[in-house]
Amino acid sequence: MIIFLYGPDTYRSGQKLKEIVESHRKIHKSGLNLKYLDIKEEEYEDFERHLQVNSMFQEKKLIILKNAFSSQDFKEKFSKNIKKIKELKDIILFYEDEEFPKNNSFLNLLKKQARCQEFRQLEGLKLKNWIKKEFDNCEAKIEPKALELLVDYVGDDLWRLSNEIKKLISYKSNPRPDLGSGISTITVEDVELLVKPKIETDIFKTIDAIALRNKKLALSLVHQHLEKGDSPLYLFSMITFQFRNLLAVKSSVSEKQSFYPPKIPGIHPYVVRKSFFQAKKFRLDELKKIYQRLFEADLNIKTGKIEPITALDMLVTEI
């Protein structure tokens, strides 16, 4: 059997992977036939050798393959033998934390021959329903407005959302359930008290507005941050930080590279993925000019030539 889990939502794909591994361990208790192979470090022959090893316990093997798409040699040899591999009693599981173009031949082969599940980033109603389900699983409830605020504060980062949900539930848990309901309903006040807004999430929206030359929206988003009490200097530093990422990503990608975000030292893969598609909205020379303006504005702020808020407004209107 061949299983293929892929997509940028590593929280849900990781949960599914964990579920499969735990199920395998319950049945095959020796643990000797569970193998993890990173194809960036292993050859096809290494995979084949693990496949051919006979189990002394007559157990079904579970071989988890990571970064298989990175090796052309592996893809060619696996494709050649895929029908024979599919007929084995063992489980071959491909795990990839990214999206692939629809015309990718190896992707389409796996879609035909494997049990596939894609994990895209949740948004809108799907994201809210996921949050509700997480609360329901813990027998807890959250007010609709509190849920909206939680999404505004955290965005689609399920790893952080999971931690924030646990924090909120722990805070509202009654240490004496015999005196009443075990967990009180989560309110807007609870979210405001315990969840810190992650400004980085909204920075992507602001940069998108700038990229689309929607100055009105960009200015509105900047002033929304300021009205919430965010420091103009911190806001300026975050915009600078993100444009630095965009410039680094744009400089590392060829014009023909449309689907595969590069791996850039010093920048988290999640940030690279988010920046990769955003960078497409700018030309390289545009990003260089914007970054130069940011550098000059930063210098003017630090030397007292201009107020931070004025610098932000000028920056948005001049781009």
> Rounded to 10 degrees, what is the CA torsion of 208, 156, 141, 13?
160
- Assign 156 to helix, strand or coil: coil
Q: Is residue 204 within 8 Å of 241, Cβ to Cβ?
A: no
CA 172 to chain centre: 28
Classify 143 as helix, strand or coil. coil
Fold of 199-318: Zinc Finger, Delta Prime; domain 3 (1.20.272)
Question: What are the domain boundaries of the chain?
Answer: 2-118, 124-194, 199-318
CATH of 124-194, one of 2.60.40.1260, 3.10.20.30, 1.10.8.60, 2.60.40.10: 1.10.8.60
Token code pair at residue 61 = 């093997």
Map tokens 């027998």 to a residue: 139
Check: CB of residue 119 under 8 Å from CB of residue 6.
yes
Query: Tokens 């970064």 sit at which residue?
Result: 67
Structure tokens at 19: 């579920």
Q: Could you give the maximum distance between any two Cα atoms of the chain, in Å?
A: 76
What kind and span of H or E run contains 199?
Answer: helix 199-211
What CATH fold (topology level) applies to the domain 2-118? Answer: Rossmann fold (3.40.50)
Q: Which two tokens stand for residue 268?
A: 């988290």
Q: Which residues pair with 186 in a beta bridge?
A: 142
**From the CB of residue 205, how many other CB atoms can be counted at a distance below 10 Å?**
14
Number of H helices, E strands in the chain: 14, 5
Q: Residue 65 — φ and ψ, nearest 5°?
A: -110, 130
> CA–CA separation, 239 vs 251, rounded Å?
18
Kindly report the pTM of this predicted structure: 0.60
Query: Residue 111: CA atoms inside 13 Å, Cβ hemisphere, count?
Result: 11
pLDDT by position in tens, the chain (length 319): 999 999 989 999 999 999 999 998 888 877 678 889 999 888 899 898 888 877 656 778 899 999 999 899 999 999 999 999 988 889 999 999 888 888 899 999 999 999 999 999 898 899 999 999 999 999 899 999 999 989 878 888 899 899 999 999 998 886 544 445 567 899 999 998 888 766 555 677 787 787 777 888 888 888 887 887 777 887 788 788 888 888 888 888 755 445 556 677 666 666 777 788 778 888 889 889 888 888 888 888 878 888 888 888 888 888 7
- 92, 63 contact by CB (below 8 A): yes
